[in-house]
Amino acid sequence: MKKIISNIILLNLAVLLLISCKKDESTQVVAKASATPGALTASQTTLVLTKANATQSAVSFTLTDANYGFAAAAKNTIQIAKKGTNFATPKEISLEAKITSKAYTVIDFNALMLTLGLPTGVASDIEARVVSKVSDAIAPVYSNVVAIKVTPYALISYIYAVGEFSGWNEKNPDSLISATSNGIYTGVLDYRPSSSKAFLILPAKSWSNKYADAGGGKLSYNSGSDIIAPTSEQYRVTADLNALTIVLEKHWWGITGDATPTGWGSDTQMKYNNGTQTWSSTISLIGGKFIKFKQTSDWSLTNYGSKTANGNLDTEGGNDIPVATTGTYKVTLDIINKTYGLVKQ
């Protein structure tokens, strides 16, 4: 019996020694892996980004792989963050295996800078580094930090429509918007309140320069005649300043339903705000009845409702929206974010 117990003790000691050796080997691998991180360089460290150079090269990042002391396929991720944040909430760009560089055009790097919340038109300091990782069992390795000073530009740009609907006042125009500053601008202009359907397009809030009608859906710069809308309706206007073309399409959203003064048979047009990109109308509604939102008075086009009446729109063709009590309401509609509002006045 004593001999058996002795053998068991010896066996347990051998197992413990084996585990200890394995643990030491693992510790050595981690220590060796973190000893020689990779290096990161940037082709430019001072960047002033402009819309005019949108398609040109902005910056290229180049890295050397970390040395783990053994053959390893590391996953590399470039981290970019505001200076002073210690990379607490970085933007991360994953690189595929064996890829050791990342290049950005001006427009792409500008968009990345805007997602960091950097102000436009002023210089800000950012930092970049590379995180290399082989596996969850081995601690990640961080490269050197590259400091970059960058001045982003506002991605959204505007041109302005001036007509009788704005009192021909160049200081109080309506806006057409280009979401990516690509020279193509859109907006909705309302010709219902005015007797004249004429308008012009200004690149700035000044009469110094203007775009006018050259005929056949074409625009001319500093020549031509007034642009004329076909009828006294709301129109979605698309002005392509690259091709010097203009397109006007009838477009609005309306409120319909048995809660409205005209019932389900027609709709009350809402007015578009090109600045906030939302629709709104003040309307009398009947409590206990329902409404929906309909595009350009046509059921065959898009319409929206809400099953839960919580301010979020259903998918297209959704449920009727209940009106709680009779009264005058400020109704708002945000097609981009699929939300609406019913606020009793």
Long-range contacts of 261-266 (CB under 8 A, 24+ apart): 266/297
Query: Quick one: what percent of the chain has pLDDT higher than 70?
Result: 90
Tell me, yes or no, whether 321 lies in a domain.
yes
- pLDDT tens sequence across 240-274: 999 999 999 999 999 999 999 999 989 999 999 98
Q: What is the mean pLDDT of the chain?
A: 88
Over residues 227-231, the mean pLDDT reads 95
d(CA 47, CA 110): 10
CA dist 42 and 54 (Å) reads 19
Collapsing DSSP to helix, strand or coil, 181 comes out as coil
What average pLDDT does the segment 288-302 reach?
A: 91
117 and 201 inside one domain: no
What is the per-residue pLDDT for 234?
94
Hey, CA dihedral for 185, 336, 50, 103, is it positive or negative? Answer: negative
- 69 vs 39: which has the higher pLDDT: 39
Question: Is 19 a domain residue?
Answer: no
Domain containing residue 182: CATH number: 2.60.40.3620
Q: Name the residue with higher pLDDT: 13 or 313.
A: 313
- pLDDT at position 31 is 40
Q: Are residues 91 and 127 in the same domain?
A: yes
Neighbour tally for 203: CB within 10 Å: 16
Which pLDDT score is estimated for 337?
86
Cα distances (Å, whole numbers) of residue 333 to 67, 123, 156, 275, 326: 56, 37, 22, 14, 20
CA-to-CA dists, residue 149 to 45, 103, 266, angstroms: 6, 17, 57
Is 138 in the same domain as 47? yes
Query: Do both 337 and 275 map to the same domain?
Result: yes
What average pLDDT does this structure show over 166-190? Answer: 91
Regarding whether 258 and 196 lie in a shared domain, the answer is no
**Segment 117-132 mean pLDDT:** 94
Domain boundary among 250, 268, 299: 250
Write down the pLDDT at residue 275: 84
d(CA 44, CA 137) in angstroms, rounded, equals 35
Buried/exposed code over 287-312 (b: 16+ C-beta within 10 A; e: otherwise): eebbbbbbbbeeeeeebbbbeebeee
Q: Residue 224: pLDDT band by 50, 70, 90 thresholds?
A: very high
35 pLDDT band (50/70/90 cuts)?
low
Strands (E), 83-183: 91-95, 101-105, 124-133, 141-142, 146-151, 157-163, 174-178
**Per-residue confidence (pLDDT) for residue 220, from 0 to 100:** 97
Q: Which of 250, 268, 292 is the last residue of a domain?
A: 250
Same domain, 117 and 167: no
Predicted confidence band of residue 88 (pLDDT cuts 50, 70, 90): very high
Nearest to 250 by CA among 220, 295, 294, 311: 295
Domain that holds residue 133: 35-151
Could you tell me the pTM of the whole model?
0.61
In one-letter notation, the amino acid at residue 234 is Q
> Where does the pLDDT of residue 216 fall: very low under 50, low under 70, confident under 90, or very high at 90 and above?
very high
Q: Quick check: is 244 in a domain? A: yes
Looking at per-residue pLDDT, the higher value among 4 and 235 belongs to: 235
**Measured between alpha carbons, how far is 8 from 22 in angstroms, rounded to an integer?**
21
> Which domain-ending residue is among 119, 151, 183?
151
Look at residue 239 in the predicted model and tell me its pLDDT. Answer: 98
Average pLDDT over residues 140-164: 94
